[in-house]
Amino acid sequence: MTMRISTAFVVIATLFLGTPAFAQRAPSQSGAETPSTQSGTVVTSIQVVDVKELQPAVRSKVDEIIAQTSDTEIQSLRKSIDDMPEATSALKAKGLNSSQVVAISIADGVLTMITKTA
């Protein structure tokens, strides 16, 4: 399964997020095809993090990047998420959907979706 995400959307460095303990991880389905990005990066797990859970310095950087992202880019990102069942399942497990995703990061096989609610 291919997830079409432009590198412009890979906005948060691993340095900032690492692997937060509060993040939701979607379990891998054995025998299922592992999703990958256009660049060939294999996604092995998925995290869902609310922007409110980020440290203030990281949240400020995320807010800055979100402000510079066009509505067209956000819609494209959300469509890509909707096309990836593993991502939609991870969001649904937290009571969310792609319309609440404002940014993503892909590092070391981990897709981190940053969400914003109200």
What is the C-alpha to C-alpha distance for residues 86 and 61, in angstroms, rounded to an integer? 27
Tens of each residue's pLDDT in the chain, 118 residues: 444 444 334 444 333 344 333 333 343 333 334 454 445 678 899 999 999 999 999 899 888 888 898 999 999 999 999 999 999 999 999 999 999 999 998 888 999 999 998 7
Residues 6+ apart with CB under 8 A from 115: 48, 49, 50, 51, 91, 94, 96, 100, 101, 102
pTM over 0.75: no
Q: At what angle do helices 71-82 and 85-93 cross, to 10 degrees?
A: 100
Count of C-beta atoms within a 10 Å radius of residue 6: 13
